Amino acid sequence: MSQAAVRALGIRRRPAADRPPLLTRVVRRLMVRRLLALGGLLVLACIAHVWLRLQVIRLGYDLSAARAMQLRLEHERRELEIELATLRDPARIERTARRLGMTPPRAGQVTLLP
């Protein structure tokens, strides 16, 4: 900037005696950068923590749904086993055969295969 622009804006430079030495400015700048980097890492760690917590919650819901499905399927399996036992009952098969007009085989009608 030109001297006229600096005067017009009212910007004053500090005298050299009031300015901190170059080494102090460099160290201060380095500390600010380190603090910003640490702050950024802290923010990233917080975001990762929140993301992981959300994943745990989502997995909890998934496990709950899977457990409900498992219980429902176990109940259905028990019902099917009962139905199968009922269908295999010899007395029921005999009643159904008689209703359809079937009779027990006479002698000589049954052939055993080797």
Q: How many CA atoms lie within 13 A of 58 on its CB side?
A: 6
Model confidence pLDDT, tens digit, residues 52-98 = 999 999 999 999 999 999 999 999 999 999 999 999 999 999 999 99
User: Does the residue 83 lie in any domain?
Assistant: no
Find the domain containing 34 and state its range: 3-68
The answer to whether residue 52 sits within a structural domain is yes
| Chain CA centroid to CA 66, Å | 13
Type of residue numbered 100: L
Buried b (16+ CB within 10 A) or exposed e, 57-66: eeeeeeeeee
| Residue 99 resides in a domain | no
Is the pLDDT score of 11 beyond 70?
no
In a domain, 84, yes or no: no
